[in-house]
Structure 1
Amino acid sequence: MPSRPADPIAEVRRLRRPRARRHWLTRSFRLQVMLLVGVLLAAMLLAQGAYLNHRKAEIIADQMGERALAVATSVAAIPELVAAFADEDPAATIQPIAERIRRQTGARYVVVGNTDGIRYSHPLPERLGLPMVGGDNDRALLHGESYVSEAVGSLGEAVRGKTPVVDAEGRIIGIVSVGFMLDRVAMDVGRHTSLGWWLVAAMILLGFAGAYGLSRHLKRVILGLEPHEIARLAMEKEAILQSIHEGILAVNREGAITLVNQQARRFLDLPAEREVLGNPIHEVVPNSRLLEVLERGEQQFDQQMWLGDHPVVVNRVPVMHGGEVEGAVATFRSRREIVDLSNALSAASRDVDMLRAQAHEFSNKLYTISGLLQLGRVADALALIHQESERAQAQMSFLMGHVADPVISGTLLGKLTRARELGVRLEIDDQSSLSTPLTATGQEVLMTVIGNLLDNACHAALQERRDDGEGARVRLFFTDLGEQLLIEVEDNGPGVAAEHVEAIFTEGFSTKPGKHRGIGLALVARLCREHGGAITLEESELGGACFTVVLDRSLCRPPLPSKP
């Protein structure tokens, strides 16, 4: 049994281990991934944070303006303040009211002026009676609007809420301006948005940490390889797969084809690679046993099978990762040269066996003839010589006249000699015929089928001890006259027990004692299934078992076209 192949993942890691001088390269992919993901995430977070904080600053500034306008409206509605406009010294009444409201609301200033913009209140008393600064009072004084504006006043740039002061008759008699300095607004905005920026910074750090973890995970998943190393390995693998003489077919855990090389497509007669990848294996190769490997996770080595007329030896192994079956790979190599050599050796072995049996048999005949001659019984010696010559000539004439394939003729002649040596009377039915030569596959199939069936029949016939003096008999019939090849082998042995009929064709089952049994009939049954036929068992007319084999006629060579 071949040893289990080394783990390819560990092998890749081992090959990459020794070169420390390229250590910085082994981290470049990790750094690239970390920087790419981290910078992209940071840019997104910064852009989002800038937008959100900008919107928050706008909202805060708008709220400050609305607050200033609300204070100004409230001040303009105070009756004492409105009545003070009719006083001889309005500032004496208005200034205390405005200052009290300014301190309560936190405004930078609350300025009240008349229709000419002369101040009646101001945070700096020395500026009372001076004109208001900013030039944005017309909307309130001329049109009676209440509004928010940004302008540079005597205290600096501020966001200001302005509203007119209206007397009881509805006449505009003045203006109220409440201001919050823009630097104060900026401080408030910065205070409210600083938390958002801290959160963005924390998310960026977390993003870089996640990018670092992702880069480490990706590096581990790709076995520590760099992108250029992966590309080189992929090209090398593709070149190797397409150049080797073995066919390779791989499937994933769902049974879909993920890899097929040129030799596999030639063996299986498959279309272009892109038309095969992704298809279920049972649709492309119906008799594939890769699904069994996926299901059981067991290795299968040196399995023999036929792909069309091509014999191959198949190895099937699961692809394991983390103790789970992730896929399966089948490799198959041509057995044609092995088959040709095996056929030559088998033919030589048959010839040797036949010559040995003939030598043994004829040595006995020669001793008998020698004894007859020594006894002076020349006529009896000549009769025995003529009898043996006629029998051998009859066998040769029958085989030459009824069997068109020389390989099968040699097989039958060898089996006849072997049966005679064992003491079994092997009879070939006179109606038997094989009128058409066989293909190379057909020769191997029929040699296997006839050889195994005759060997089993001879063994079974010798087991039965008979009192009638008939001895062990085996009968063979074959024909190709119909649409199929038909072979019948029967014997006068004990037959097959009823409880063994179902299991007789199972590999490993045998009624014979000893090891390495139960192969012949299982092999015959498998060959029948692979070549469009079947094998059946019934009771023989001779009293034992009768095996009938039907094979597809495609094992015969097509007839040659007739010459004009």
Structure 2
Amino acid sequence: MTARPNDALAEVRRLRHQRPRRHHLMRSFRLQVMLLVGVLLAAMLLAQGAYLNHRKAEIISDQMGQRALAVAQSVAAIPELVAAFDEPDPSVTIQPIAERIRRDTGARYVVVGNAEGIRYSHPLPDRIGLPMVGGDNDRALIGGESYVSEAEGSLGEAMRGKTPVFDAEGNIIGIISVGFMLDRVALDVGGHTSLGWWLVAAMIALGFAGAYGLSHHLKRVILGLEPHEIARLAMEKEAILQSIHEGILAVNREGEITLVNQQARRFLGLPEAREVLGRPIQELVPNSRLLEVLERGERQFDQQMWLGDHPVVVNRVPVRHAGEIEGAVATFRSRREIVELSDALTAASRDVDMLRAQAHEFSNKLYTLSGLLQLDRIQEALALIHQESERAQAQMSFLMGHVADPVISGTLLGKLTRAREIGVVLEIDDQSSFSLPMTAAGQEVLMTVLGNLIDNACDAARQGAGPDGDGDRGELPRVRLFFTDLGEQLLIEVEDNGPGVPSAQVARIFEEGYSTKPGRHRGIGLALVARLCAEHGGAITLEESELGGACFTVVLDRSLCRDPATA
């Protein structure tokens, strides 16, 4: 029996709910996915945020330094300030100018010094006249450069823009130092980068929420199973598929092979699975009819067909998900095994029928002999015994002299006894003969052919004779048998005096499942005989019998006989 895919999914879900739940968090697939995706996303966002905020801080610090340098250069270009260097007390003129610029620009200090680094201005007036500190004036006073530096001055660590002051002849007469305290720079940087960190935190929270949703979706897609459970199910499924006796072939919606077990490969003569998977089904098994199932979505059960040289019985079902056809699966089993089992059962039934007929027949004769002996009719009893012995001896002598194979002789003897039991006269033509023993295959074929044809002929003869045994024509049911192997082929003729086969039914008489007799499980014997004839280089024909009923003629290849030299 082939399980439907949707039923299989329902069974997996049912078993999942029946299974005791695991509470160990580290083995939860949902938690593992959420943590893995969330932590990975958080690490990426933190790394990106740290890089971007670091670059932003560098840009802000650089802008503050450039701002300080620009203010310093602007102060150094004020003519009044340059002219004040020639006054007796330059700080009187320079201090107000520097303080006004400091307040306007927001700088922490604007310090003007002479060529020796002596202050002419300072936010703290009491420090005017003292040397500038920090040790970073040489590049401006000696080299004449304008630059940005970080150093600790009298007011603390600061980012300072420094530029020299030139007189009209281009001589360095002083230095301008504009400073922004580093703690103030840090506050500005923090104010500008805090928004970025808040955005990173929000994205991390959103990432964890998305990771939770993703884990929930994946858990639902895999039917609530854990990874180790999926691995175990996959191994169990593979072991089952490879060990069952039926061949299994599955395709996806594009008609490409997605699954094939070793039994299917044996039936179809396919290479290893890795060479088959992914290839179009029409390329390897053109008559699989799985594409019809994909197109129509119809289930097909117990369909008979040939795969390679194997007669098989096939079931085909579509695989559906959410109402859509995702693929199709075909399962098939060898019909030869079914036929062999049927033949074995037929042979056993034939032996039982023969024994039953012989027991019944000899029981009647024993009763007759008992009656004659009780009536003291000894001569008549002896005559009956001699008569029966002569008839049995005649049959045995004929079969031993005309049929070389003991198995075929036993089959014919059993049929003679059975026919006599049911009231049918079974005649074997005197010219009949099988001069050579049969091979093992020949014995099986001839037992099947003779058994089915003689049984059908006896049934037809009895049907034509009617319940009284002599019918409308006043004849007993008769069956005539002829067989020979003298030509190039084996020839068998079985005819009866039954009603025959109507002309309208002649064309279908050899179809499996079709029968002129009522009842179930009919229409097998003649179809089986026709198939055996086709497999062994012969044929079966139907014509009108000289006895008035049907005459079946069977021709088989002589290869069923043993080689005369070995025989």
Scaled by the length of structure 1, the TM-score of the pair is 0.70
Matched letter for residue 204 of structure 1: I
Root mean square deviation of aligned Cα: 5.8
- How has the CA–CA distance of structure 1 residues 118 and 414 changed in structure 2, closer, same or farther, with 3 Å as cutoff? same
Q: Which residue is 2:525 aligned to?
A: 520
Alignment of 1:37-436 (within 5 A): 37-227=37-227, 247=245, 250-254=248-252, 255-257=257-259, 259-260=261-262, 278=277, 291=290, 298=299, 300=301, 328=329, 330=331, 342=345, 345-352=348-355, 354-355=357-358, 396-397=396-397, 399-400=399-400, 403=403, 405-415=405-415, 430=431, 433=434, 435-436=436-437
CA distance in 2, matches of 1:499, 1:340: 26
- How has the CA–CA distance of structure 1 residues 186 and 422 changed in structure 2, closer, same or farther, with 3 Å as cutoff? farther
Q: Greater CA deviation, 320-329 or 116-125?
A: 320-329
- How has the CA–CA distance of structure 1 residues 434 and 361 changed in structure 2, closer, same or farther, with 3 Å as cutoff? farther
How far did 1:322 drift? 5.8
Aligned length: 540
How far did 1:197 drift? 1.6
- How has the CA–CA distance of structure 1 residues 222 and 426 changed in structure 2, closer, same or farther, with 3 Å as cutoff? farther
Asked if structure 1 preserves the Cα contact closer than 8 Å seen for 2:139 and 2:145, the reply is: yes
Asked if structure 2 preserves the Cα contact closer than 8 Å seen for 1:148 and 1:161, the reply is: yes
How far did 1:237 drift? 7.0
Q: Greater CA deviation, 518-527 or 471-480?
A: 471-480
- How has the CA–CA distance of structure 1 residues 547 and 32 changed in structure 2, closer, same or farther, with 3 Å as cutoff? farther
Asked if structure 1 preserves the Cα contact closer than 8 Å seen for 2:133 and 2:154, the reply is: yes
Asked if structure 2 preserves the Cα contact closer than 8 Å seen for 1:510 and 1:517, the reply is: yes
Asked if structure 1 preserves the Cα contact closer than 8 Å seen for 2:148 and 2:159, the reply is: yes
2:142 is paired with a residue of what secondary structure?
helix
Q: Greater CA deviation, 138-147 or 287-296?
A: 287-296
Asked if structure 2 preserves the Cα contact closer than 8 Å seen for 1:133 and 1:153, the reply is: yes
CA distance in 2, matches of 1:149, 1:551: 111
Asked if structure 1 preserves the Cα contact closer than 8 Å seen for 2:293 and 2:316, the reply is: no
How far did 1:138 drift? 1.6
How far did 1:128 drift? 3.1
How far did 1:53 drift? 1.8
CA distance in 2, matches of 1:390, 1:422: 20
Q: Note the residue ranges of structure 2 that are not aligned, 5 or more in a row.
A: 465-470
Asked if structure 2 preserves the Cα contact closer than 8 Å seen for 1:91 and 1:120, the reply is: yes
How far did 1:151 drift? 1.4
CA distance in 2, matches of 1:325, 1:408: 55
How far did 1:57 drift? 1.6
Asked if structure 1 preserves the Cα contact closer than 8 Å seen for 2:493 and 2:553, the reply is: yes
How far did 1:121 drift? 3.4
Matched letter for residue 102 of structure 2: R
Q: Greater CA deviation, 212-221 or 137-146?
A: 212-221
- How has the CA–CA distance of structure 1 residues 200 and 248 changed in structure 2, closer, same or farther, with 3 Å as cutoff? farther
- How has the CA–CA distance of structure 1 residues 119 and 317 changed in structure 2, closer, same or farther, with 3 Å as cutoff? same
Matched letter for residue 355 of structure 1: Q
Alignment identity in percent?
58
1:134 is paired with a residue of what secondary structure?
coil
CA distance in 2, matches of 1:153, 1:56: 26
CA distance in 2, matches of 1:196, 1:229: 43
How far did 1:9 drift? 0.9
Q: Note the residue ranges of structure 1 that are not aligned, 5 or more in a row.
A: none
1:48 is paired with a residue of what secondary structure?
helix
How far did 1:209 drift? 2.2
Note the alpha carbon deviations across 1:506-556, whole angstroms, 9 max, x for none. 444445455544433444456667x57675656568696756566795xx5
Note the alpha carbon deviations across 1:168-209, whole angstroms, 9 max, x for none. 433333323232222222222222222222222222222222
CA distance in 2, matches of 1:141, 1:107: 22
- How has the CA–CA distance of structure 1 residues 95 and 335 changed in structure 2, closer, same or farther, with 3 Å as cutoff? same
Scaled by the length of structure 2, the TM-score of the pair is 0.70
Note the alpha carbon deviations across 1:219-269, whole angstroms, 9 max, x for none. 444544445555666677778888x8x536544444443555xxx599869
Matched letter for residue 76 of structure 1: A
CA distance in 2, matches of 1:150, 1:507: 103
